[in-house]
Amino acid sequence: MNKNLKKDLKYQINPALPFSADGGRRAKIFSLGAVVVAGVVGATHASAADETTLPTVTVNATAEPQDGYRASKTRVGKVVQDPHDVPQAITTITRSLMEEQEANSLREALRNVSGLSFNAAEGGRSGDNMMLRGFYTFGDMYLDGIRDTAQYNREVFNLEQVDVLRGAAAMLFGRGQAGGVINQVSKTPMLFGINEASIGIGTDNFMEAKGDINQRIGESTAIRINFMAREEGSSRQNPLTGTTPEVHRQGFAPSIAFGLGTNHEVTLSHFFLSTNDRADYGVPFDSTTKRPNQDYAKSGAYWGIDGTFDDSVTNISTLNYLFKISPDTQWRTVARVSNYQRAYWASAPGSSTTFATGGGAKTRQTDTDNIVIQSDLSSKFNLAGMKHEFVSGVEYLKEEAQRWGLANVNNRGVYYKDLVGFVSGITGEIIDTRPNNTYNGDTLSIYAQDTVEFMPDWRLTAGIRRDEMDSDYISVASVTNASRQVIGTRTTTYAGNFGENSYRLGLSWQPRADAHYYLGWSDSFSPTADLYQLSGNQFPAERSQVSELGAKWLLFNGDLALRASLYHAVKEWERNTDLESTASILTKKRESNGFELELAGRITENWEVFSGFSLIDGEILEVAPVTGNPNFVGKEPRNTPKTTFNVWSTYRLPMGFKVGGGAEYKSKRYGGAPTGTAAFNPNYAPSYVRWDAMVAYEQPKYAIKFNVQNLFDKLYYDALYDNGGFVVPGQARRFILSGEYKF
- Using DSSP's 3-state secondary structure scheme, residue 171 falls into helix
Amino acid identity of residue 55, one-letter, is: P
- List the single range of 51-60, 159-168, 428-437, 675-684 with lowest mean pLDDT: 51-60
pLDDT at 725 exceeding the cut of 50: yes
Instruction: Report pLDDT for 534.
Output: 46
Instruction: Report pLDDT for 675.
Output: 58
- Using DSSP's 3-state secondary structure scheme, residue 252 falls into strand
Instruction: Report pLDDT for 742.
Output: 95
Confidence of residue 457 (pLDDT cuts 50, 70, 90): very high
- List the single range of 264-268, 319-323, 524-528, 617-621 with lowest mean pLDDT: 524-528
Structure confidence by residue, pLDDT tens digits, 167-188: 999 999 998 889 999 999 999 9
Confidence of residue 125 (pLDDT cuts 50, 70, 90): low
Is residue 613 within 8 Å of 596, Cβ to Cβ? yes
pLDDT at 503 exceeding the cut of 50: yes
pLDDT at 275 exceeding the cut of 60: yes
pLDDT at 660 exceeding the cut of 50: yes
pLDDT at 35 exceeding the cut of 60: no
Higher-pLDDT residue of 30, 238: 238
What is the average pLDDT value for the chain, to the nearest integer? 83
- List the single range of 52-66, 443-457, 461-475, 558-572 with lowest mean pLDDT: 52-66
Structure confidence by residue, pLDDT tens digits, 204-243: 999 999 999 999 999 999 999 999 999 999 999 998 889 9
Instruction: Report pLDDT for 308.
Output: 82
pLDDT at 707 exceeding the cut of 70: yes
Going from N- to C-terminal start, the domains of the chain cover 9-518+539-568
Instruction: Report pLDDT for 631.
Output: 81
Helix and strand totals (H; E) in the chain: 6, 36
Contacts of 395 (CB under 8 A, 6+ apart): 174, 372, 373, 374, 375, 443, 444, 445, 446
Instruction: Report pLDDT for 685.
Output: 93
Higher-pLDDT residue of 317, 66: 317
Instruction: Report pLDDT for 291.
Output: 92
pLDDT at 43 exceeding the cut of 70: no
Percent of the chain with pLDDT over 70: 79
Instruction: Report pLDDT for 673.
Output: 64
Q: Bridge-partner residues for 202, per DSSP?
A: 206, 736
Which CATH number among 2.40.170.20, 3.40.50.1450, 3.40.50.720, 3.40.50.300 corresponds to the domain 9-518+539-568? 2.40.170.20
Percent of the chain with pLDDT over 90: 58
Instruction: Report pLDDT for 428.
Output: 39
Higher-pLDDT residue of 62, 693: 693
Structure confidence by residue, pLDDT tens digits, 328-361: 999 999 999 999 999 887 777 877 777 766 666 6
Confidence of residue 366 (pLDDT cuts 50, 70, 90): confident
Instruction: Report pLDDT for 487.
Output: 67
At 537, give phi and psi (nearest 5°): -85, 10
Q: Which DSSP letter does residue 257 get?
A: E
Higher-pLDDT residue of 698, 491: 698
Residues in the chain: 743
Assign 3-class secondary structure to 68-119: CCCCCCECCCCCCECHHHCCCCEEEEEHHHHHHHCCCEHHHHHHHCCCEEEE
Amino acid identity of residue 268, one-letter, is: L
Confidence of residue 407 (pLDDT cuts 50, 70, 90): low
pLDDT at 5 exceeding the cut of 60: no
Span 519-542, mean pLDDT?
A: 72
pLDDT at 465 exceeding the cut of 90: yes
Instruction: Report pLDDT for 1.
Output: 40
In Å, how far are 57, 95, 204, 659 from 708, measured between CA atoms?
A: 46, 19, 13, 12
Span 20-46, mean pLDDT?
A: 40
